[in-house]
Amino acid sequence: MPRPLLILLASLALVGCNGRSERAGGALLGTSQQAPALSGSGKWLAVVSDRGGRPTVQMRRLSDGSVVSVPQLSRHQPHSSPSLSWNGRYLAAITQRGRRRLAVVTDRLNGRMHPLPLPGGRDPVQLSLAPDAQQIALQVTDKGRWRVELLDLSDLLEPDRPPGQSLSTPALSSEP
């Protein structure tokens, strides 16, 4: 291939990489909102917004903009640091219990709420739920420093996988 053509193709590729992003929408709600978290599928958004002066997690379906109720998180404000699994089945957040902060994972499919108390009675500051909900990362304060701890949730929660992803199954033996 001639060298000028190669350079032209490379330039076109670079221009494509640097193209401007398409805006999907501006401000979503009329009220102030913070700590956005997209589901792995990109179809759900959780934010923290003020509800009656109390920071509360709100979940929104992006296809039609509708707000979805999460009854398990109607109390224990202030809420912070929401995080969603792939299809939005699980919503993790930090809640208030008395004088302590407590991370919880809500299962929107069956309505259960799973508290995730930290060893040593430490308070979580921020969290991130893995897209398949099989582990969670919790930021805590430890001796004046930030630290992140990973918890395995595979005994607690069913995986929330992308649609169409095959489950691992035992290999079939080729022998009779």
What residues line the site for another protein (CB under 8 A)?
16-29, 32-42, 45, 47, 62, 86, 114, 116, 119, 125-132, 135-139, 145-153, 155-156, 162
Q: Which is nearer to another protein, 33 or 96 (CB)?
A: 33
Q: Which is nearer to another protein, 166 or 174 (CB)?
A: 166
Distance CA 55, CA 52 (A): 8
Contact 89/107 with Cβ under 8 angstroms? yes
Contact 150/136 with Cβ under 8 angstroms? yes
The bridge status of strand 67-68 relative to strand 54-61 is antiparallel
Strand partners, 100: 97
Q: Which is nearer to another protein, 74 or 142 (CB)?
A: 142
Smallest gap from Cβ 176 to another protein, in A, equals: 35
Q: Residue 90 carries which DSSP code?
A: E
Contact 79/99 with Cβ under 8 angstroms? no
Smallest gap from Cβ 129 to another protein, in A, equals: 7
Smallest gap from Cβ 49 to another protein, in A, equals: 9
- H-helix or E-strand spanning residue 154: none
Q: Which is nearer to another protein, 21 or 166 (CB)?
A: 21
Smallest gap from Cβ 175 to another protein, in A, equals: 31
Q: Which is nearer to another protein, 53 or 176 (CB)?
A: 53
Which value, to the nearest 10 degrees, does the dihedral of the CA atoms of residues 109, 73, 39, 130 take? -90
Smallest gap from Cβ 2 to another protein, in A, equals: 24
